[in-house]
Structure 1
Amino acid sequence: MAGGVSGRLTRREVVGYGLGDMGFNFYWTNISTFLLIFYTDVFGISAAAAASMLFVVKIFNAFTDPLIGAAADRTRTRWGKFRPFLLFGPLPLAAVGVLAFCTPDLGPSGKLIWACGTYLLLMTTYTSVNLPYSALSGVLSGDARERNAINASRFVAGFAGGTVVTAASPRLVQWLGGGDPTLGWPLTMLFWGLAAAVIFAISFSTTTERVQPPQAQPASIWQDLADLRSNRPWILLFFLALIIMGSITLRMTSTAYYFKYVVNRPELLASFMPAYLLAAAAGTALTPLLTRFIDKRKLMIGLMLASTLLSGAFLLVPSDNITMMYALQIGLGLALGPKSPLSFAMLADSADYNEWRHGRRATGMTFAASSFAQKLGTALAVAVIGAIFSALGYVPNAAQSADSQAGIVWLMSVIPAAFTLMAAGLMVFYTLDNPTMARIQADLAARKRPPSP
């Protein structure tokens, strides 16, 4: 068990911590599923301009993650390192979330500047709360099985939150705005922001930070980064996060366009995304059971290969075969659901590995750099979408050309399948299997044990 651990994890903590990700998905699902189409079809920004802006902001915001992670690692309060961010960040985050979905009456350049500024502020504020929350999972417990339970609880709640958002947001926009999306979207985000703030307060009040860094650990940010550069398991997880997030963002962002312009059934989005998220929640819930019998590395490889086949099969589905679309979507949810708790448990393992190898622990920086990779993956996916839409002549709120429709289908199928295939190949080289981690955690526990009199 990792150093400085006292007390067993309680069920109340597992549930309380897990609920936090439901609150984050009140933001993330609205951003990943609806923000681009909000910019193009409600605010009136061109697809190329919106996608380019999202790409630039994501790249810039990714570089703030290590700074936030370093700040969290060096935070010292009576509540711990990471929990205070759940107490003081939610209300500013709610306010910025509303601003990002406002539509001031500006010219084309003014709209783009407004969107860029509010989106940058939203993502920076989101990260300042979400990143310490993610790092918190690495210090609640040093036990491998407890970490699997923590992260499974988190992502079950997260997928549940995403399911609720994809089903409810379009209806809330219509109801709160009285048919006017320019009014409905800010009010909808206000609703989700206040609901998330209540949930974050629950996560704060139910958790305890147990795993502590070594007392003599130096406080250099550059040393933290140097340690990560020599941490091969973490490097592999960095690229894994980039690739998987790219694949997921491609499909989630393209789904609204797929049903609006290819299937010509936009109302199905309200059940199609929840079908995926509910299946993903089921897959996530199975993760602790699966990891009892299958090593995390082997399980991740199998899941990525299954996702490749299921995603690629979307290319062959006729636009009127709704049943097959839903069947593949549910299969993808089951396959991709366990990847989130697995990858976050692996990140915690890589923090243990860093402490075992260097005698230093930087949990916040470890998770921050992974968040950096996820944002790069999201930026890459948005850039791909924008480039394809621009090349194929996408026109918002109009019938699409055959080429434009084909591009949307590829964004739902072959391109994300290529990403998950790369992820499977990457995990072949990951070395922190169960026996290795048992040895590392035993060594760490022995180092922290007081000397015999």
Structure 2
Amino acid sequence: MTAVAPRLSRGTHLGYAVGSIGTAAFGTVPGLLLLYYLTDELGVAAGLAGLVVFAPKAWDVLLNPWIGSRSDRTTGRWGPRRPWMLAGGLALPPLFVLVFAGPGEPPALAAAWVAVAFLLAATAYGCFQVPYVAQPAEITDDPGERATLMSWRVAALALGILLAGAGAPAVVDAFGGGRGGHLAMAVFVALLLAGGMLGAVAGTRRAPTLTRATSEGRLGATLVLAWRSRPFRVLLTGFVVQALGIGVMLAGVPYFSEQVLGDAAAGSLLFAALVGPAIVVMPLWLRVSRRLGKRTGLLASSALFTAGAAALALVGPGGTGPALALVVLVGVGYAGMQMFPLAMLPDVVAADEAASGQRRAGVFTGVWTAAETLGLAVGPGLLGLLLAAAGYRSSAGGDAVQSDGAVLAVRLGFSVVPALLVLASLPVLARYRLDPVPDRPQEVPA
């Protein structure tokens, strides 16, 4: 018999949400700066650099189900999730600094250092992220409380993306760029990681554990269970394709500002324009959700992103102003693309529980976090391959003169490629049918 859920305190709401500042920092900064750091500060070839960024994140696809399974079995006065969250919160900050604290040459040794340190950092991040995502299903069984938790989390996520994404390039510039500037940036991000993750461990210390949301633990079996839900299948497929497009665009920010706009300092402004609108327009998208439905809101926000990203292909040298205006439009769409899937996932979990009679939130969140991580990791890798194919010249210090073909690849990688990927997700997401529709019953998951 499941206990009646007590109302969670405002401290628990805030304490849980602050963890998203940490997840936002690690989810954003490597995709934004690590590929550029490898190619233009360490002189690593673009193709190899893309692999270095991709491989450690891909490792999470195998790691996350294992962490979910082990944390399911964890017992003690701290509950099943907080010990794992504490371990990740303690290990990740120093490991993130190590990613940017390695040797500068030769490039092969520098790439190997980054690869190993980033793999360890990704492992520590998984120890925090997977239990963190599973926690709301266990600390309350009240849908209203979960909605409140998610609203606080989305707000903290937007704040974390803004702090890390706009702040990290600004710190690099403030400390003179180069390896020294990137190391200072890593310390700044490590403080955000520690504050967010350890804050969530402390902030949820009074939260009850009412029930266990279990995961299968084996990757194949977990995928099969999750894939049986048609709404989840559709939502996840569209979300991963969109994450791929976002990953390509994030990795392209420093390249686009330097090689296309001719203004290396514009990178911080571009990222602030991308993520800043989230704080302002979230209430607007929430109103759209209530009036027109979450699926309609996701399709509309994705269409805005696509239009703005495609138009960026027309911006040329010295066009920082027009680029910022278009990126603000992209950012309005990006805000919806972040909010709506997070709001739709609990609907999918609830529909599956109603249809199956089983509480399987851990199955869905394990697959979701692994797929999201993979999509965001493939994005920089794809950009690295595109730059390598176009003949992009890597150099320690970033002073290499690029060919017209390489500059064109940068332009397309920041604009057309993300636009096409998000556009490709629209027919998939249009098939999602879990939103209530007037005079029609909701679809029951297969």
Tell me which interval the TM-score lies in, with the shorter structure as reference length.
Answer: 0.7 to 0.9
> Which deviates more from structure 2 when the two are superposed, residues 6-15 or residues 346-355?
6-15
1:348 is aligned to 2:340? no
2:293 maps to 295
2:239 maps to 241
Query: Structure 1 stretches (4+) deviating beyond 6 angstroms?
Result: 217-220
> Which deviates more from structure 2 when the two are superposed, residues 279-288 or residues 47-56?
279-288
2:202 maps to 205
Q: Shift of residue 225 of structure 1?
A: 4.2
Q: Once the two structures are superposed, what CA deviation does each residue of 1:232-279 show, in whole Å capped at 9, x if it has no partner?
A: 222222212311110111111001000011111011112221122111
Whether the 8 Å contact between 1:213 and 1:360 is mirrored in structure 2 is no
Q: Residue 420 of structure 2 aligns to which amino acid in structure 1? A: A
For normalisation by structure 1, the TM-score amounts to 0.86
Partner secondary structure for residue 89 of structure 1: helix
Q: Residue 38 of structure 1 aligns to which amino acid in structure 2? A: Y
Q: Shift of residue 297 of structure 1?
A: 1.6
Partner secondary structure for residue 64 of structure 1: helix
1:417 maps to 419
Whether the 8 Å contact between 1:55 and 1:382 is mirrored in structure 2 is yes
Q: Shift of residue 210 of structure 1?
A: 6.0
Q: Residue 99 of structure 1 aligns to which amino acid in structure 2? A: L
1:166 maps to 165
Q: Shift of residue 414 of structure 1?
A: 1.5
* Counterpart mapping for 1:164-313 below 5 A: 164-173=163-172, 179=176, 181-207=178-204, 208-209=207-208, 212-213=211-212, 221=218, 224-313=222-311
Q: Shift of residue 285 of structure 1?
A: 4.4
State the Cα RMSD in Å: 2.8
1:30 maps to 29
Whether the 8 Å contact between 2:216 and 2:363 is mirrored in structure 1 is no
1:12 maps to 11
2:404 maps to 402
Partner secondary structure for residue 247 of structure 2: helix
Q: How far apart, in 2, do the equivalents of 1:346 and 1:334 lie?
A: 19
Change (3 A) 1:189 1:320: closer
2:76 maps to 77
Change (3 A) 1:291 1:10: farther
Whether the 8 Å contact between 1:145 and 1:288 is mirrored in structure 2 is no
Q: Residue 90 of structure 2 aligns to which amino acid in structure 1? A: L
2:51 maps to 52
1:362 maps to 360
Change (3 A) 1:413 1:268: same
Partner secondary structure for residue 77 of structure 2: coil
Q: How far apart, in 2, do the equivalents of 1:369 and 1:253 lie?
A: 24
Change (3 A) 1:184 1:336: closer
Q: Residue 199 of structure 1 aligns to which amino acid in structure 2? A: G
Q: How far apart, in 2, do the equivalents of 1:260 and 1:90 lie?
A: 34
2:134 maps to 135
Q: Residue 342 of structure 1 aligns to which amino acid in structure 2? A: F
Q: Once the two structures are superposed, what CA deviation does each residue of 1:2-30 show, in whole Å capped at 9, x if it has no partner?
A: x6551334443333322221122233322
2:334 maps to 336
Partner secondary structure for residue 7 of structure 1: coil
For normalisation by structure 2, the TM-score amounts to 0.87
Matched positions, count: 433
Q: Residue 421 of structure 2 aligns to which amino acid in structure 1? A: F
Whether the 8 Å contact between 1:261 and 1:399 is mirrored in structure 2 is no
1:325 maps to 323
Q: Once the two structures are superposed, what CA deviation does each residue of 1:129-167 show, in whole Å capped at 9, x if it has no partner?
A: 122222224445555555444333223222222222334
Q: How far apart, in 2, do the equivalents of 1:218 and 1:188 lie?
A: 36
Whether the 8 Å contact between 1:155 and 1:281 is mirrored in structure 2 is no
Q: How far apart, in 2, do the equivalents of 1:417 and 1:137 lie?
A: 33
Q: Once the two structures are superposed, what CA deviation does each residue of 1:91-131 show, in whole Å capped at 9, x if it has no partner?
A: 21112111111122553432232222111111121122122
> Which deviates more from structure 2 when the two are superposed, residues 191-200 or residues 389-398?
191-200
Q: How far apart, in 2, do the equivalents of 1:89 and 1:388 lie?
A: 33
Partner secondary structure for residue 43 of structure 1: coil
Change (3 A) 1:171 1:429: closer
Whether the 8 Å contact between 2:42 and 2:105 is mirrored in structure 1 is no
Q: How far apart, in 1, do the equivalents of 2:418 and 2:189 lie?
A: 29
Q: How far apart, in 1, do the equivalents of 2:241 and 2:3 lie?
A: 34
Whether the 8 Å contact between 2:74 and 2:80 is mirrored in structure 1 is yes
Q: Residue 402 of structure 2 aligns to which amino acid in structure 1? A: Q
1:124 is aligned to 2:120? no
Whether the 8 Å contact between 2:215 and 2:361 is mirrored in structure 1 is no
Gaps of 5+ in 1: 441-453
Q: Residue 423 of structure 2 aligns to which amino acid in structure 1? A: L
Q: Once the two structures are superposed, what CA deviation does each residue of 1:373-408 show, in whole Å capped at 9, x if it has no partner?
A: 123323432232122111111113223222111111
Whether the 8 Å contact between 1:227 and 1:358 is mirrored in structure 2 is no
Q: Shift of residue 31 of structure 1?
A: 0.8
Whether the 8 Å contact between 1:90 and 1:129 is mirrored in structure 2 is yes
2:389 maps to 391
Q: How far apart, in 2, do the equivalents of 1:424 and 1:196 lie?
A: 33
Q: Shift of residue 211 of structure 1?
A: 5.8
Identity over the aligned pairs, expressed in percent? 25
Q: Shift of residue 300 of structure 1?
A: 1.1
Change (3 A) 1:140 1:315: farther
1:62 maps to 61
Change (3 A) 1:265 1:39: same
